[in-house]
Amino acid sequence: MNTIPRKLLEGFQRFRERHFKSDDSLYQQLVKEGQTPRTMVVACCDSRVDPALVLDCEPGDLFVIRNVANLVPPIEGRAGHHGTTAAIEYGVRNLGVEHIIVLGHAQCGGIGALVRSGGVSNPGSFIDDWMCLVESARRSVMEEMPNATLKEQTRACEQRAILVSLDNLMTFSWVRERVEAGKLRLHGWYFDIEHGQLLRYDETARDYIAL
């Protein structure tokens, strides 16, 4: 027990008091009826960007997928060990979510490393191989903003990578069909953790605007 962080145990006790030792019926309902989230969020593993905290949601509100740099890979020719893709499939086809939010954020370590490295991939790195999914975003930013500061280039790449993931979502037939039928909506959001702002991509403006 001494090896377990005390803060986590104390947190669980507060959670248990709040949801299981009072008249709170939330978890009773979730156990009885199962989960029925209407929104899926693809978010980053970054410890500062917990979607449930950022969006102040209750248990059961969000179906959350977290990975390095909140990326969505495109469809591939065969089944395999594809955790993000499997979770998206489950959320769309089994849970029937109505919204998918790709939630990017400022100061993303994965995007920052991609920009600083110049897109050179280390064949022995799982992270580098994963980040190659948005090499097109890095390349387009560098072509359009060659004289910008590193911070500006990184922010632009963070935001453009969200759009790559939205495009990749449409490569899955079961996503595309639902979007075209009006049963599913895709959203690109960007959390500016430096200024406490949440931005969304506006297709008409072709830019991110404050929510």
User: 5-41 pLDDT, tens per residue?
Assistant: 899 999 999 998 888 877 678 888 898 899 999 999 9
72, 168 contact by CB (below 8 A): yes
Structural domain boundaries enclosing 122: 35-210
42, 72 contact by CB (below 8 A): yes
Does 8 lie in the same domain as 111? Answer: no
Does 81 lie in the same domain as 155? Answer: yes
Does 40 lie in the same domain as 28? Answer: no
Side chain identity at 8, as an amino acid letter? L
Q: Judging by DSSP bridges, how do beta strands 99-105 and 39-44 pair with one another?
A: parallel
Does 82 lie in the same domain as 23? Answer: no
Read off the pLDDT band of 116 (50, 70, 90).
very high
Does 146 lie in the same domain as 115? Answer: yes
Does 58 lie in the same domain as 27? Answer: no
Does 93 lie in the same domain as 23? Answer: no
pLDDT digits (tens, 9 = 90+) for 170-209: 999 999 999 999 999 999 999 999 999 999 999 999 999 9
**141 Rama sector, left if φ>0, alpha if ψ -120 to 50, beta otherwise:** alpha
Does 108 lie in the same domain as 8? Answer: no
Angle separating helix axes 26-33 and 6-20, nearest 10 degrees: 80
Span 70-82, mean pLDDT? 88
- The rounded distance, in Å, linking the Cα atoms of 42 and 103 is 6
